[in-house]
Structures are given as C-alpha cells and as structure tokens.
Amino acid sequence: MRKIFTRPKSLRDVPTHYCPGCGHGIVHRLVCEVIDELNIREKTIGIAPVGCAVLAYDYWDFDVTEAAHGRPPAVATGIKRILPSNIVFTYQGDGDLAAIGTSEIIHTANRGENITVIFVNNGIYGMTGGQMAPTTLLKQKTKTTPFGRDKIREGYPLKISEMLAVLDGVVYLERVSVHKPVNVRAAKKAIKRAFLTQINKEGFSMVEVVAMCPVGWGTSCEGSVKWIEDNIIKYYPLGVLKEKYE
C-alpha cells in the first residue's frame, strides 16, 4: 500500500506533553513539515522559548537551544551572525515575545536580522496556569483577571505584529490561525514563505499563529475553536501584515 501521509522526519516519534486541543502540536508539525520540504533539517537551529513550548527540543529532531524568557531573538541574533549560512528560527509564545521580550523582538526586527520568528499567540500564559497575557482579549477571564480583562485596569490587548509591521527591518509578517483545516493549510504556506524569506537572505520574517488553549481558556476543544472564530480573529484579523521584498 502506498503511504500518502506520515510523520515529518524532523518531528520525533515521542508522546506529547501538550494538553488535548492545544495548538502547539499542529504548529510544531507545520514547522517540521516545512523544514523537511525545504530540505534544511541539517542546517536548522531552533530556539525554544520559556513557556509551554519550553520542551520543543524533545519533539524537534534538529539542533535546538533554550533561551531565557523573552530573549530568543537576541540569542538568534548571536547564532545567525556567527553562522549566516544556517537557518535560525525562534519559537515564542505571547508572554515571551509580547511581554517580557518586547524589547528584544522590536530591536531584532528593526535590525532586520535574517531570522524567522514563529510567534504562537493563544492569549494566555499556559504553562504557569492560565494568567493574563499581553494578548488576552478585553473581558476575557484568566487566573489574574478573574473579573475579565478591564481596559482601565489592564490596558488593551497588544497588537505586537501590527507594531512590528511598521518597522523598516521587517520583510515578511503574516498572521494565521490553526483552528480549522483551511487555516492550517494557510498557516503552513505562511511558515514556508517565512523560511524561504530567510533562505533567500531577504531579512526578518515572522508568522503570528493564533492557536487554541482550551485548558487555559477554561473551555472545550470545540469551544476553543469557536472562541478563535468569534473573538480572537475579530480583534486580530488574519492576513499579510507586511511584505517588502527588494
């Protein structure tokens, strides 16, 4: 029988620690599929964040380093400047990229470092038990916004990708989602394009992936898909935010 669907070579065959319905597994897989298709596994260096994806190196079958919370873009800068022929990407959550690492992501993007950033936005701190993230929506209840996020008390959900898109150093930036098969396919296309941007030495590329966190959101798997459809992508619309190829 002909095998038409299998595990990407870059993804290890190990049990997952992610919760049921979590988006990380899909995003991990998409990254690995792209790395396989571009045949860059042997020259790829990934940077795992602090957060739920801290154990990404248990799943990815290529060179991976950890980085302190928020610092992956600075670490990626160091690696890429030393090894410009390698493919370097960071995998960061919303707390990592849009809160504690805001400075690093802005300046790395602004320097136009030729790296790729996979930014997983699920609007919550999953690993620490569901606290408010910079991307938590208004009125959304979390462990630290028990009455819902209040714009007076907590401010507005941060539009970090829109902020980054205005920087001259950013070549490609797209927001995608993985809540439906059609979106997953579009997400893969965007991730591939981001890696190609780096391979072609065009400059800084980033894909924001809106992902489900049913456990953190206190909902079911189906409920999390509906939450993205009805709420998140209304505030964070999907699509290309920046393309500036020379």
Partner 1 sequence: MNKKKRDTIYDIRYTKHAKTVLMTGNEAIGEAAVAAGCRLYAGYPITPQNELTAYMSKRMVEEKRVFIQSESELAAINMVFGASVAGARAMTSSSSPGISLKQEGISYLAGCELPAVIVNIMRGGPGLGNIAPAQSDYFQATRGGGHGDYRTIALAPSSVEEAVELTRLAFDLADNYRGPVLVVGDGILGQMMEPVQVSSFKFQVSSSQPPPKPWALTGAKGRKPNIIRSLYLKPRALEEFNKKLQRKYEEIKEKETRFEEVLTKDAELIIVAYGTTSRIAKAAVQSLRKKNKKAGLIRPITLWPFPDKAIKDAAKNTKVFLVVEMSCGQMIEDVELAVCGRRPVHFYGRPGGGVPTPEEIEKEAEKLL
Q: What are the Cα distances from residue 102, in Å, to 70, 161, 225?
A: 7, 11, 28
The residues, ordered by sequence, that sit 6+ positions from 226 with a Cβ below 8 Å of its Cβ are none
Q: Hey, which residues between 54 and 73 contact partner 1 (CB under 8 A)? A: 54-55, 57, 60-68, 71
Q: From the list 9, 43, 189, 244, which residue makes contact with partner 1 (rule: CB under 8 A)?
A: 43
Residue 193 contacts partner 1 per CB under 8 A: no
Site map for partner 1, 103-142, x if CB under 8 A? Answer: xx-xx-----------------------------------
Residue 78 contacts partner 1 per CB under 8 A: yes
The two three-digit tokens of residue 144, written as one number: 């630290």
Task: Tell me the closest approach of the beta carbon of residue 111 to partner 1, in angstroms.
Answer: 8
Residue 36 contacts partner 1 per CB under 8 A: no
Planar angle of CA 36, 41, 46, nearest 5 degrees: 115
Could you tell me if 85 and 173 are in contact, meaning their C-beta atoms sit under 8 angstroms apart? no
Residue 102 contacts partner 1 per CB under 8 A: no
Residue 77 contacts partner 1 per CB under 8 A: yes
Q: How far apart are CA 178 and CA 193, in angstroms?
A: 16
> Hey, what amino acid is at 101?
G
- DSSP SS3 for 46: strand
Query: Given the rule CB under 8 A, which residues bind partner 1?
Result: 41-45, 48, 54-55, 57, 60-68, 71, 74-83, 86, 103-104, 106-107
